[in-house]
Amino acid sequence: MKEALLIVDMSYDFVADDGGLTVGKPAQEIVPYIIEQANKMLQAGNAVVVTMDAHRPDDEHFRSWPKHNIVGTPGQELYGPLKDWYNENRMNPNVQYFPKADYNAFFNTGLAEWLKVNQVKRVHITGVCTDICCFLTAAGANAEGFATVVHARGCATFTQNHKTFLDQMQLCFKSEIIQ
């Protein structure tokens, strides 16, 4: 079965201490784990997909949230070592980048179609925030017919809801949770 690792929203704005809507240290701590998983996926001939919030400066999204991930700004770039990893591997056809305007990485992005064309049956979810974009991406994956695996050590959030939403992904979407 072909698989794909999804790296959700690991941007400077979500990860760096001074990011626009940062998770901070919890997000920084998962970076080595995500890179390790990405390398394992590629070595096994599987895919790695970066999904990234992409907002206009006047986006209605900012009625609810501080400004973050504005297209073309350093805040929207992958964070630190993940940016280095991506730059080293981006020419690999199994490494893809999908900008997204919504919490769910499958909503109006073409991600589901790309995964299906490449015969991916199961997606692994990592990134931020466990209780927002990771949760809704798991919902999107489930709705598109993909089996989901969520890496607890590869997700983080700025709330106290990490475990609750892992449990919800397992209950609602039959996600396998890897501790």
Please report, for the chain, the start and end positions of each structural domain, with discontinuous segments joined by +. Answer: 2-7+23-50+81-178
**Which are the contacts of 24, defined by CB distance < 8 A and separation ≥ 6?**
15, 17, 158
Output DSSP code: residue 63: G
What is the rounded CA–CA span in Å between residue 176 and residue 81?
A: 27
**pLDDT at site 1:** 64
**pLDDT at site 117:** 96
**pLDDT at site 128:** 98
Cβ atoms 129, 158 nearer than 8 A: yes
Tokens representing residue 66 in the block: 């501080």
**pLDDT at site 26:** 97
As averages over each run of 10 residues, the pLDDT of the chain (179 residues) reads 94 97 97 98 98 96 94 96 98 97 96 97 98 98 98 97 97 96
**pLDDT at site 174:** 97
Query: Where does 2-7+23-50+81-178 sit in CATH, by number?
Result: 3.40.50.850
What is the rounded CA–CA span in Å between residue 5 and residue 137?
A: 12
**pLDDT at site 91:** 97
